Amino acid sequence: MGSSPASGEDAHWERRLPRHVRRLEGIGSAVAGESAAATSDLNFLVDFKPSTPIEHVQSFFGLLEDLQRLFARPVDLVEDGAVENPYSLSDVEASRRVLYAA
């Protein structure tokens, strides 16, 4: 991903993840290295640790806002297991790259 946290742009970006994040993966054109990645939105797949419903909502939207602020680009955040369409799932599986795992 062009300005990926792993590239050192923000050496401690993991500390900014909500404490309930179990795993965060990049998916789509940005991690696949496609030319449109520099101008497209960024897509992430997230898996949260068990939490209360309110903590879950706060973690989801907090992470979404933090990622948008960090990259200064639109972000699509999808929970792992939410993609059920077999064609979309195939695309997700082909491009996923682990960025953080607790």
Average pLDDT over residues 42-62: 93
pLDDT at position 84 is 83
Residue 34 to residue 25: CA distance in whole angstroms: 17
Q: Is the pLDDT of residue 49 over 70?
A: yes
pLDDT at position 70 is 87
Q: Any residues with CB less than 8 A from the CB of 86 and at least 6 apart, and which?
A: none
pLDDT at position 52 is 94
Q: Tell me the domain boundaries of the chain.
A: 5-101
Residue 36 to residue 43: CA distance in whole angstroms: 13
| Nearest Cα to Cα of residue 98 among 44, 40, 61, 60 | 44
Please give the CATH number for the structural domain made up of 5-101: 3.30.460.10
Window from 30-39, 42-51, 71-80, 84-93 with minimum mean pLDDT: 30-39
